[in-house]
Structure 1
C-alpha cells in the first residue's frame, strides 16, 4: 500500500492536531490533541475516534500543549497500549498537564450534571479522569533531539528543535518502501525565534512531503526582542494600573504563564511598572513552573531564566480551590494570571465573571484565540458574553499583546519552509483557520513555491503519498461539514441572540412593548 496520511484534527481549525500515517506494515499517529473553540468543535472530544485505536502501533508527540496531547488518555481508554515517543521535557510537562486536564473534566462535568439534573437532562461522563492522565504516562518513551529512533520495522523518526515551547519538536518520519524511502517532516508548532526562553526552530533540508502549521500564516506581528517585548508589556501594565482595578491575564499554563511571570517580575524589580501582588491561579501552571526550573536551562544565555519562579513577596502561587475563591476579596490593583489562555476552561472564567462588568478592570489577551472561544469573542469586541450560564456585560478594558505568541508569524513560516527545501512532493498547510492557511499559501506562492504542491486539508481528509505529490483519497467521512470547524456555531448564535434580546427588552419603552416583542418572536417558533 502506498503510504496514506489522514488529518483527524487541526485541519480547517487550529486545535486538536492528530495525523494518522498508514503504511503496508504500520499505522502511527503524530499527536492526539484536544479540540478547543466552539461547542460543536469541542463535542468531537466526546465522540469515538474515526479509527480503531487498537490498530495504532505508536504515537509520535511533538509537544505537550493540550491541543496536541490532550486526547492521549482517551486513546488509552479506547484500547491503545503502545508507546508514546516524546522529548524528556515534553514527557515531564505531560505528566502534570494530562492529570490536570482529567481533573478539570471531572469538576466541569460534575457542575454540568448538576445543571442537567435541574433541567431534566441525562448526566454525561468526562472524556477521561485524572487517574487516566497518570496511567498514560507509563506508555511514554524518551527521545533525544537528533537521534534516529526505530518506531516500527518500516518507520524511523528523528526529532528536531521546533523552538515553540520547552521540549517542543518537529519530527522527520522515514518510511521504508521496498528498495526506496519516503521522508516526511511534521513541523509541529513552530516558534518565533530570537527568544530568551527557547532555542530557534530548526529542521533538515530536502524532504518528500512537508506538513507545516499555519496558525499565523496570514499575518505579521511586531518584531520584538526581549527588551522590546518587556517594553510593550510595561505599557499594558501601567495602563491597567491607571484604570484602578486588577489586570487579568488569561494565560496558557505551559510556557506563556512562565514567560509572562519572568518579565513581570523583572519589570517590577527594575521599577518600570508599579509594584503589586502577582497571583498565579493555576495548579497546572504552578506544577509546570517546577519543570521549567529543572529543565529551562538556556545554553545561549548560560542561565535558566525560570529560576525566579518561586513564591516570594510579590509572586503568590494559588493552590487549592479555597485559596482561589478568596481572591474574590481583593480590591484595587493587582495582577492575576489564570488558565486557560482562550478563557474556555479553568479558573480564569470565574475571575472574568467577577470582573468583566467592572470599568476599572483590564483583561490582557496574550495568545491565539480560536473561533468560538470566549477569548475570541472578547477579542472581537463582544459587548455581552455568557459564562457558565450567566450573561455578563463587558465593561472592562480588553487588550491584546501578540509579542508573547509562541507561534511563528507568516514571514517566519515562509522562511522555515524555504529552508526545508527542496520539497519533492506536497506541502500540507495544517493547524490553521482557513484565513491563516490560505494566507500562508499565497505567501509561499509569492516566494516561488509551486502552488500545485500546496494542499490545505479539511477535517478527516486523507491523501495517498506518492513520490512526486499527494492525491486525495475518495470516500471522505467527515465528522463536521467542510470548512465549518473554524466558524461560529449555533451555540454562539444562540448566546448572541439571547444577549441581543436582553438588550432589546431593556431598551423597550414599557412593558407592553416588551410583551409585543416577545409575542412576535413566539409567533415564528414551531408549534
Structure 2
C-alpha cells in the first residue's frame, strides 16, 4: 500500500518535505524545504535526510519559497539526480532564490572559517556546492497549470493554481496501485481569496489522501479594506511622529503585494511624500519576473496603467527607489525621517532588514510593520511577542520602536478559507494537516469536524501513514 512519511512541516510551519512511497513503482518527494530561524550554517548542517536521496526518483515542488525548496542543493549533493517538477513560473523564480541563499550561505562559511583559522580550529565544510545548485536548476522541468504530465514511473502529475505566490501549485498525483486508481492531493501553500495580484486557489474535489496546509488554521485575516486602512493610519501616524517605517518582507510574493498596496494608496492620493525603498537585490529581480507574468495575474488596475515596455512598479508606484548595492543600502541609514524601507528577510532571520532594525529599533519615532507569519525561533516572532531587548550582531538593543502586525496582507488562506476549500472534496479523502503550528492545527481540526464532519489527522515528524 502507498504511504506518506512526513519529514518536515509536521506540527511546524517550515521545512516542507513529504516522502511518498508507492511500493515497486516510485519513491518521490513533495517539496524539499529548509527550516527557518537560527544560524544558517548550523541549520543547514543539522538538516539530515532520514532517507537515501539516491533512491528518490523525482521531486514535485509546490513553489519557490525556501521553506519548500531550500534543501534541493543538499539533496543533489547527497546523491539525488532525478527530475524536479514544478510550474513554469517557478522555474523562473527558483534560480533567484537558490542562488541568493547559496551566496549568503557560502559567505557565512567563509567568515566562519576565517574565525576558525585564527583559533586554530578545523574549517567548516559546506553541505553543498555551487555546482549542486546548478545541477538542481538543470533538473527542473516546468509544467503548465491544468495539463497532466505522466512521469516515467507511471505517476501522473497535474498542477493547479494555489494562488499563494507566482507559480505556486496545488499538486495532484494520480497512479494505479494493483489495478486500483489512487489520487493524492497536496495543497502546497494556499493563497487567500481576493488577493491583490494572485488568482483565487483552484478548487479540487477528488482525492484518496489530502495533505493541506494549516498556517493560519486558528484565525481569519482582517479584510483587505481594513488592512489598507490600518497601514494607511500607521503610516500617517509615523509620518506625524517624524519617524521611518521598516517592513520585513519575503522577496517572493509578499514584497510585490506590499508594493501593490502602497501603489494603491499612491493612486488614491493617500500616501504622504514618503521616500520608498525596495532594499533587496533578490526582491528586485523577483519583481522583474512578476512583470513578465503580469498578464496571468488578477490585477487589471495595474495592467491598465502599465505600458508594455515598463515595469508595473515604475508605473504604479513611481516614488519607489530600488537599491542593489551595499553602499546604496547603507546610505538609507542617513535618512532621519520619512523613509519606508522594504527589505528581506521576511522573518528577520537574515538579510538587510536586520541592519535597518539595528539602526532604528531603539527610536520610538520609528515603526516596524510585520505583514506576514513569523515562525517560532525567528527574530520576527521574538519582536511580535513583545521583546523589550534584542541582540543583533553581538550587541544588545532596546526595543522602543512601534511594532505593528497587519495580517490582512498574508499570502496564506485564513481558517474559514481553509475550511471552505477542504469542504469541496466530495470523495471524503483521508485528510492530514501539515505546515502549521500545533495550536493552529488543533483549532482547524476542531472546526473541520464541528462544521463539516471532516476528520483531520495531525501527523508527527517522521510519522508514516498508509493510503
Same fold, TM exceeding 0.5?
yes
Residue 88 of structure 2 is matched in structure 1 by 88
Which of 233, 240, 244 pairs up with 2:242?
A: 244
* Shift in Å, 1:82: 1.1
Residue 276 of structure 2 is matched in structure 1 by 278
The SS at the match of 2:465 is strand
* Shift in Å, 1:128: 3.7
CA, structure 1 residues 119+196, in 2 after alignment: closer, same or farther (shift >3 Å)?
A: same
* Shift in Å, 1:34: 1.2
In the alignment of these two chains, the number of paired residues is 459
For residues 301-324 of structure 1, the C-alpha deviation after alignment (integer angstroms, 9 at most, x for no partner) is: 546558422498621111122222
CA, structure 1 residues 445+279, in 2 after alignment: closer, same or farther (shift >3 Å)?
A: same
Q: 5+ unaligned residues in a row in structure 1: which ranges? A: 466-527
Residue 388 of structure 1 is matched in structure 2 by 393
CA, structure 1 residues 130+333, in 2 after alignment: closer, same or farther (shift >3 Å)?
A: farther
The SS at the match of 1:399 is strand
Query: Distance in 2 between the 1:154 and 1:100 partners?
Result: 35
Asked if 1 retains the 8 angstrom alpha-carbon contact of 2:192 and 2:417, the reply is: yes
Query: Distance in 2 between the 1:106 and 1:129 partners?
Result: 9
Residue 170 of structure 2 is matched in structure 1 by 170
| Greater Cα offset, 112-121 or 438-447 | 112-121
Residue 379 of structure 2 is matched in structure 1 by 374
For residues 160-207 of structure 1, the C-alpha deviation after alignment (integer angstroms, 9 at most, x for no partner) is: 111111111101111211211211100000011112301111132121
So what's the TM-score if we normalise by structure 1?
0.83
Q: 5+ unaligned residues in a row in structure 2: which ranges? A: none
Asked if 2 retains the 8 angstrom alpha-carbon contact of 1:99 and 1:129, the reply is: no
* Shift in Å, 1:299: 5.8
Residue 308 of structure 1 is matched in structure 2 by 312
CA, structure 1 residues 125+277, in 2 after alignment: closer, same or farther (shift >3 Å)?
A: farther
Residue 18 of structure 1 is matched in structure 2 by 17
For residues 10-54 of structure 1, the C-alpha deviation after alignment (integer angstroms, 9 at most, x for no partner) is: 111100101000112110001111111356997365433111111
Alignment of 1:15-414 (within 5 A): 15-24=14-23, 25-37=25-37, 43=43, 46-116=46-116, 122-129=122-129, 132-224=132-224, 227-298=225-296, 301-302=299-300, 307-310=311-314, 314-414=319-419
* Shift in Å, 1:392: 1.4
RMSD: 2.2
Asked if 2 retains the 8 angstrom alpha-carbon contact of 1:63 and 1:90, the reply is: yes
Query: Distance in 2 between the 1:320 and 1:432 partners?
Result: 36
The SS at the match of 1:159 is strand
CA, structure 1 residues 236+415, in 2 after alignment: closer, same or farther (shift >3 Å)?
A: same
Residue 465 of structure 2 is matched in structure 1 by 463
Asked if 2 retains the 8 angstrom alpha-carbon contact of 1:246 and 1:361, the reply is: yes
The SS at the match of 1:239 is helix
Query: Distance in 2 between the 1:50 and 1:98 partners?
Result: 23
* Shift in Å, 1:114: 4.4
Query: Distance in 1 between the 2:325 and 2:218 partners?
Result: 41
Query: Distance in 1 between the 2:42 and 2:21 partners?
Result: 26
CA, structure 1 residues 317+11, in 2 after alignment: closer, same or farther (shift >3 Å)?
A: same
Query: Distance in 1 between the 2:137 and 2:91 partners?
Result: 8
Query: Which one has a bigger Cα radius of gyration?
Result: 1
The SS at the match of 1:378 is helix
* Shift in Å, 1:247: 0.3
* Shift in Å, 1:253: 0.7
So what's the TM-score if we normalise by structure 2?
0.93
Query: Distance in 2 between the 1:295 and 1:393 partners?
Result: 43
CA, structure 1 residues 119+279, in 2 after alignment: closer, same or farther (shift >3 Å)?
A: farther
Asked if 1 retains the 8 angstrom alpha-carbon contact of 2:227 and 2:407, the reply is: no
Query: Distance in 1 between the 2:116 and 2:235 partners?
Result: 41
Asked if 2 retains the 8 angstrom alpha-carbon contact of 1:57 and 1:152, the reply is: no
